[in-house]
Structure 1
């Protein structure tokens, strides 16, 4: 029987390794409820793992049970899957932008498509998030004209926009200074305080040190196995 407040449930989930990932998943189990924040330490050289894709329903699990919002991805229609994914905020391992759209168009796209919010309201929220991460406002230029650090920080805006129920953050602080990394941690903590849940993956020792004092649960991913790590 599903718990009504459970956002994510993985029970003995395995995903095989593939050319698209550095490592697979073997017998992974954990749960995320509103307010939970899980940090996962990745091994150097094995940073691209299938965990976020599996939780998003983008790849199937080989064995075990995975549910998001109480539902298994393989049991829902494509329309329902679209609706479920609209409640996710994600920073991808590789920042993916539509090259022939300006950055503001990229960032606002999901909220325009999935919600009935007024355009002015969406843009006001996006501009506020952009200012928090060092921009005067949401840039209206093509992704190719921005630095890697700019694009990473703007991917945070895209992930946080619209108060998502679950944040999937794949090494989100790469290419950024500690000041901006800490600012992101503050925003994620605030989102969790409002009832979101977060999963943060990192291979950076300094980031991991900060996460140890902020995340509720800590894991290490080694050779496809996720092992609990005691909090300091």
Structure 2
């Protein structure tokens, strides 16, 4: 009745279900670890970048020094600076149009970074919702096999039906083993991404306000 014995004694269909669920579990944990490390690093770098930015007295000089760094706050800053330079490069500047285009560019950059951060969370959601039903399919198949064994042996002795039932329940257990971490990680990471989105939106709004004041000074 060990897990290995239950797998080896299982029907080919139940074995396929178990293997699929184990692979899904491994894939889920790989995503969880990678995303957790990535989100911690991004949160730390965003905080450091924004703190240094608001301490800076010269936006252009700060952008030249730090604007090419590869994390969300830097990319939002880069999108804003690029739009600012395009909109103010002519002889006459449409102030309201510039403000509107800056808001669009900054909001698009925030949305792009959020989409990038949540790219693989759909896999966790899929595993969390589908794995229990795949395990249930293995359970149903194993119970059907048990009833077949009862008919073949013409006996309801526990020794006849126990292996099939045990295999069936083991498939359900593997399904839950894959689904539960996926659901918990999905919820926690979604919360983390929502916090990141709110932080980026605040940074974008503050940066937009700074550039708007620059337009007023140039009036």
Judge same fold: TM > 0.5, yes or no: no
TM-score (norm 1): 0.23
Q: Larger Cα Rg: Structure 1 or Structure 2?
A: 2
Bigger proportion of residues as strand: 1
TM-score (norm 2): 0.24
Kindly indicate whether structure 1 or structure 2 has the higher relative contact order, using CA contacts under 8 Å at least 6 residues apart: 2
- More helix by proportion, 1 or 2? 2
